[in-house]
Amino acid sequence: MNQHQRSNEQVRRGNLVRVLSALHYDGPQSRAELTRLTGFYRSTIAALVAELIDVGLASEALPEERLGVGRPSPIVAINTHIVGIVVYPDVDAIIVAVIGLGGVVHKRVRRSMQVGHTPEQTIDVIAEVVTDLHAEFPGPYRFIGLGAAVPALVEAPTRTVTLAPNLGWSEVPFGEMLEARFDTPVVVANDAQLGAIAERQFGPGRGVNHMLYLNGSAGGIGGGAYVHGHAVRGYRGYGAEFGHIVIDPAGPPCFCGQRGCLERFVNRGELLKTMGTPSLDADEFERALIDNQDADLAREIDRQIDWLGDGIATLISSFAPQLIVLGGFLSSLFEARPERLRQRIAQRSFHQLAAHVELVRGGLGSHEVLVGAGERIFETVLTNPAGFGENRAR
Ligand SMILES: [Zn+2]
């Protein structure tokens, strides 16, 4: 191949990625829509669609409903039968899900666990569920990888769970353990970082270059940051631990070694305690927050909103984001007092930096971590669709 042919080949591969991305993120479309979306010639789209169909990543069919007059255009769709398994171990349960290309959650299974389950016990339960899922999703479904979302510090290069305080795990080579058991490519990542990926690609963060994401779970507050469209990762892949911004150095101790961290104050458990209930599902919890007829609960919500606003004000000074997305229970807390949170942030922030920040709820609800893990599983396919065909041929 000479230099000219090589650069043509590079352009063609880039165009293939562009069309596959359009199908993955924007859903099924006609060739005309793809032409408009990508700005490519119709003939280019025809060739690229043919190639995606040939490698098994897309299909084309007439729409089921024929509305209006004239010949309907065939619709090109990504192959949602290309799937990954996502596992999400939490304190008292493990979630296992089947995620397809296109960000489709095909199935979600929750298995209750004893508090204190070890990594080995976790993997045994995952193996049982995965066996069932393989039976439930036979060909044409094709499993191409496994992604673990862990509420933990995860060392990216080694896929080690450095510290998962709620699970009681430390220095667990979880990626290696999963790969040895399941013989498939494995990614392991912090759950909130995955939630951030999902909200940036499929949620309100689409097309936004400077975005922060804060996620509140039973275990604490995690996050993700995008600067110039790139996910910010610190040394060894750590970072965006927004729950550990110190709000009050004289506050209660935190497992991280500090006192008075944001997540000790803005805390789902404290809200539940004030409601007088040990647990509620996400929808019930949100309704209880929004109703808040009880004076004690109303006061606790106000306090948590104010602390959250103080934490966010610090982040605005550090990152100057355009958009802040709130996920998990923070999204429900925000829904209970949107104006109070906006005002608190405005009062406590560097004014010029805060003036244009948009604050919104996540768009994917309880699916965000699963969809984010799917993005990591599908990364190799989405960035090199031609390679997917080559792998298949082997
Ligand atoms: Zn802390």
In this structure, are residues 360 and 326 in contact, taking their beta carbons and an 8 Å threshold?
A: yes
End-to-end CA distance of the chain: 23
**Helix (H) and strand (E) counts in the chain:** 15, 16
Give bridge partners of residue 323 from the DSSP assignment. 211, 358
In this structure, are residues 284 and 321 in contact, taking their beta carbons and an 8 Å threshold?
A: no
In this structure, are residues 248 and 285 in contact, taking their beta carbons and an 8 Å threshold?
A: no
- Residue showing tokens 């990614």: 187
Distance 116 CA to ligand 1 centre (A): 21
Distance 197 CA to ligand 1 centre (A): 23
Distance 250 CA to ligand 1 centre (A): 13
Count the Cβ atoms, other than its own, within 10 Å of residue 376: 21
Count the Cβ atoms, other than its own, within 10 Å of residue 249: 8
Distance 243 CA to ligand 1 centre (A): 7
Distance 378 CA to ligand 1 centre (A): 33
Q: Write the DSSP symbol of residue 221.
A: E
Omega of the bond leading into 140 within 30 degrees of 0 (cis): yes
How does strand 160-164 pair with strand 153-155? antiparallel
Distance 331 CA to ligand 1 centre (A): 21
Distance 190 CA to ligand 1 centre (A): 16
Q: Which residues contact 85 (CB under 8 A, 6 or more apart)?
A: 96, 97, 98, 99, 130, 133, 143, 145, 146, 147
DSSP E strand boundaries for the chain = 29-30, 58-61, 75-78, 82-89, 93-100, 104-112, 142-150, 153-155, 160-164, 169-172, 186-190, 211-217, 220-227, 230-231, 323-328, 358-361
In this structure, are residues 316 and 350 in contact, taking their beta carbons and an 8 Å threshold?
A: yes
Distance 91 CA to ligand 1 centre (A): 18
What domains are there in the chain, each with its CATH number?
3-78 (1.10.10.10), 82-194+378-393 (3.30.420.40), 204-362 (3.30.420.40)
- Residue showing tokens 């927004």: 242
Distance 220 CA to ligand 1 centre (A): 9
Distance 334 CA to ligand 1 centre (A): 22
Distance 151 CA to ligand 1 centre (A): 14
Distance 42 CA to ligand 1 centre (A): 55
pLDDT computed for residue 218 by the predictor: 87
CA-CA distance, 174 to 341, in Å (whole number)? 38
Determine the 3-state secondary structure of 394 from DSSP: coil
CA-CA distance, 219 to 169, in Å (whole number)? 13
Distance 258 CA to ligand 1 centre (A): 5
How does strand 142-150 pair with strand 186-190? parallel
**Beta-carbon neighbours within 5 Å of ion ligand 1:** 244, 254, 256, 258, 261
Distance 309 CA to ligand 1 centre (A): 17
Task: Give me the average pLDDT of each 10-residue run along the chain (394 residues).
Answer: 85 95 96 95 96 96 72 91 97 94 96 94 98 96 97 95 95 98 97 97 96 94 96 93 96 96 96 92 92 94 98 97 97 97 97 95 93 97 90 56
CA-CA distance, 222 to 192, in Å (whole number)? 5
Distance 169 CA to ligand 1 centre (A): 17
In this structure, are residues 113 and 121 in contact, taking their beta carbons and an 8 Å threshold?
A: yes
* HEC letters along 12-61: HHHHHHHHHHHHHHHCCEEHHHHHHHHCCCHHHHHHHHHHHHHCCCEEEE
- Residue showing tokens 């080995």: 120
Distance 392 CA to ligand 1 centre (A): 46
Distance 253 CA to ligand 1 centre (A): 8
pLDDT computed for residue 66 by the predictor: 61
Q: Which residues contact 4 (CB under 8 A, 6 or more apart)?
A: none
Distance 256 CA to ligand 1 centre (A): 4
CA-CA distance, 314 to 310, in Å (whole number)? 7
Closest CA to 154 of 5, 379, 373, 383: 373
